[in-house]
Structure 1
Amino acid sequence: MNHSDVTHSTFVLERHIPASRGEVWKAFADPDMKRRWYAEGDQHEVEEFASELRPGSDQRLRYRFREGTPFAGVSITNSDTILEVVPEERIIASSRMAFGDNCISVALITTELQPEDQGTQLKLTFQGAFLPGADGPQIREMGWKTCFDRLEQQFQSKVAPIA
């Protein structure tokens, strides 16, 4: 492989989440909550999901595309290693994504949470190297935006307390 076979890309996503920093943190730290916004989706079936939020721990997501999708039956595996955790403030992880048996990307992902009026500012910085056969930076950014949409919807769908 020569150097031109690798595409490097960095993108930053920011999103206001209408929940306290503690509630947003729980959505990352609680495996059941994280599975709902991070792992599940309409176009794939989750085959494996494990998440633990502590330095040195591994997070693993494997899913298979459903019939009727462009890659029906193909498996995607995302393996992360948690590098740093500052509770309710920051998570830094290394990430490897494989399409079938082929590694298509590696990345450093930094997630930051800042309290603000009426909620939390969520910031994700993705620094990736995309290998031959990869989906590419635009598709990956779109995937993270979709995850953040689902995360935001979890908090927007909370029923207001009865006065």
Structure 2
Amino acid sequence: MDAGHPPQTGPAGATTGGPVPSARHGSFSVGMDFTVKRAEVFRGFADPSLRGRWFRLPGGSATAEHELDFRIGGGENARNVFVSGDTEEHLAYRSRFLDIVPDTRIVLVYEAEVDGSRRWISLVTVELSDEAAGSRLTWTEQYTWLVPTGDGTQDEAHLRGGTRLLLNGLSTVVNPDRHAGLTGRR
């Protein structure tokens, strides 16, 4: 055992025997323009039937679970099983809403797990503003990576890319006219 690191723990605090990696901290912002008013974009977060159409963890829809309690102090829980070849990953997401200003701002904290191991924790601020052609969403995420993937060099890029995919899904739900006719284009 490495004298410089306490033992790593897995689910329910069970010791795994290896050293605990140092936490890594960082932040990023992603912006997206919409051709609808910010109230419609906000509704995409707040309305469970809309949110369920764009917010999902990777994996098959048959294994997906999702619950939303959109209020200050409420939260969101999602689970899914992602299969790649012979490998299965059990994914979990849990959040809590800290601040909600209708049509303007959402602040939440979330944790992400892979196979029962908490991988990262993030504080997210979603801000909505008016634009001439509709509205703009700015997603700012401050993360603490607890268990890196490999050497950890691609973790932020993976997180940023996953956020962009989620926001693309939001756009197709609240901004459907913008995406009409794009299916099947090369």
Gaps of 5+ in 2: 7-19, 179-186
Name the counterpart of 1:55: 72
The within-5 A match list for 1:135-154 is 136-154=155-173
**For 1:70 and 1:60, how far apart are their aligned partners in 2?**
26
RMSD (Å) for aligned C-alpha atoms: 2.2
2:35 maps to 1:18: yes
Moved segments of 4+, more than 3 Å: 1-4, 43-46
**For 1:40 and 1:101, how far apart are their aligned partners in 2?**
15
Match of 2:144 among 111, 123, 129: 129
Q: CA deviation at 1:73?
A: 2.4
**For 1:23 and 1:14, how far apart are their aligned partners in 2?**
16
Q: CA deviation at 1:136?
A: 1.5
2:77 maps to 1:65: no
Q: Percent identity?
A: 21
Q: CA deviation at 1:153?
A: 2.2
Name the counterpart of 1:7: 24
TM-score by length of 2: 0.76
Decide whether the 8 Å contact of 1:96 with 1:107 is kept in 2: yes
**For 2:133 and 2:32, how far apart are their aligned partners in 1?**
13
Q: Which has the higher contact order (CA 8 A, sep 6+)?
A: 1
Q: CA deviation at 1:72?
A: 3.9
Change (3 A) 1:120 1:71: farther
Aligned residues: 156
> How big is each residue's C-alpha offset from its partner over 1:103-157, in whole Å with a ceiling of 9 and x where there is no partner?
0001100001111112110000000001124472110110000011112223443
